[in-house]
Amino acid sequence: MAEFTVSLSTQSANPSWGDNAKLSFTESGAVIHLPDDSANERTIQQAARKLDGLSLPGVTLAGEWSKEQQWAFALSFTRARKPASITWANSTDKATLEQEYAALLFTRQLVNDTPEDLSPETLAQRAADWLKSLGKDNVNYTMTVGEELKNEGWVGIYNVGRGSERPPAMLVLDYNPTGNADAPIDAVLVGKGITFDSGGYSIKSSEGMLDMKCDMGGAATVTGALGLAITQGIEKRIQLILCCAENLISGHAYKLGDVLTYKNGVTVEVVNTDAEGRLVLADGLMAATDTGAPLIIDAATLTGAAMVALGSDYHAVFSMDDNAKEQMLNAAKAENERFWALPLEPFHADRCPSAFADTANSRPMKGGGGGGASNAAGFLSRFVKPEGWIHLDLAAAYHGGATAEMPVGATAKGIRTIARMLHDFNA
C-alpha cells in the first residue's frame, strides 16, 4: 500500500477546494494550507481531525515541519480507537518526538480503557510495569492493597475504595538512577487514581457518570510524565505515588457524616462522597512530604470548578510557593502546553468548615460552591508542606466528545511540562 503523505504549504488552496480551504488532496496524500499568522497550529489540528476521520491506517509527514507543528498534528490525529501510525518528518526532532509520542500513547490508552478492565490494582501494576520496562533496575516499587491500607493508616484511599469488591491500592515507586540507595529524593509525583467514580452515596447522574473512567487521569498523567523523563535520560531520583480506588456504592461504602482521622491527626468530616479525590490525595501528599523532597507535584481530575473557570483548554495550577509556581508556568510555556494559575492562599484551608471535625472534605452545596477548585486545593494544603508543592487540577485531561481540534477521550496534555519540570526545577 502506498504511503499517505501530509505536507504543509503557505500557499492558498486551489479555489476548487472551497473558499479559504485549509486542506486539499493530491494523488499521494494531503496538503495543509497554513494562514500567515499565529493560528498555524490550530489549523494543523483542525486538518488532522478531518484526516483522522478518514480512518487512514497511517500517514507520513513530508517536507518541512517544525517540532511543534508535528506535535500539534499528533495530538489531534491520534484517535482513541485503533489510532493510525505516524511517520515523522526527517528532522533533528525525530527521536524526541518518538519519546514524547510513546508517553502520550501510554497515557491516553490508560485513561481510555474501560473501568471494568482497569481496577485499582491493575492501574497501579500497569503503571509500575511500564516504568520498570523503561527504567530497568533503577525502578523499584511496593504496593499496599485493601485492608493493609487501613492497617498502615492510609485512611483516605482505604475509605474511598472500600465500597468496591475490588480493593483500593497505593503504589509507591522509586526511580533511582544514582546507584546510591541513600541518595536524596529530588521530586515526588502524586496522582489521583480513581478508576471509576460513581460519586458514592452522593451519586452522579447517568450523564455525569459516563466519562468517569477518566477520573484516574492524574495518575496516568504523572506516570506518563515520569516515563517520558526516564526516556529523556533524567539523572534525578524521583518517587511516584499513585492513590488508586473505585468509588462505588455498597453496604461497605463510606458514608456522608463519617469522620476520617488522618495520619497527621487532621480529622475530616465527609459531607460529599463525590469529593473523594482530595481524600485519597491527602494520603499521597503526606507520604510525599515524609520523603523530604524539595519538589512535590500532585495531579488530579479533581473539580468541575476548574473546568468552569478554564474550560477544557487549560490545566489549573495552584501553589503557595511563588518560585515553584513560576517555574511550572515557565515549563508549560516552553513546552507549548496551556497551564493557568488559579488562587491559593492559606485561608483556603478553612473554606470547608465542619462542626464535627477539623475540616469537611467540601461544602454541602453543588460543586462545593464558589471557588471550589481553590477550596479543594486549600484542603490538600493541610497535608503537605507549602514549599515546593504544586497542585494541578487537570481540566484539559479528557474530552467527553470530539471537538474541531481534539479527538474524544484522553489528551495526555501536561506530560511534557511535568517532565521538563522534573529536569529543570531549582528550589
Say whether 166 is catalytic. Answer: no
Q: Exactly one of 162, 192, 213, 278 is catalytic; name it.
A: 278
| Beta strands 359-360 and 267-269, pairing class | parallel
Provide the CA 35 distance to its chain's centre, in angstroms.
32
Which of 343, 335, 291, 294 lies closest to 317, judged by CA?
343
CA 118 to CA 200: how far, in whole Å? 18
Of 42, 50, 79, 204, the active-site residue reads 204
Amino acid code (one letter) for 341 = A
Is-catalytic flag, 351? no
**Distance from first CA to last CA of the chain, Å, rounded?**
53
Distance CA(246)–CA(177), nearest Å, equals 33
Cβ-in-10-Å burial (0-12, 13-18, 19+) of 341 comes to: middle
Torsion of CA 393, 417, 294, 159, to 10 degrees: 30
DSSP alpha helix (H) spans, 144-268: 147-152, 155-161, 206-209, 217-231
* 62 and 70 Cβ atoms separated by less than 8 Å: no
Active site residues: 204, 278
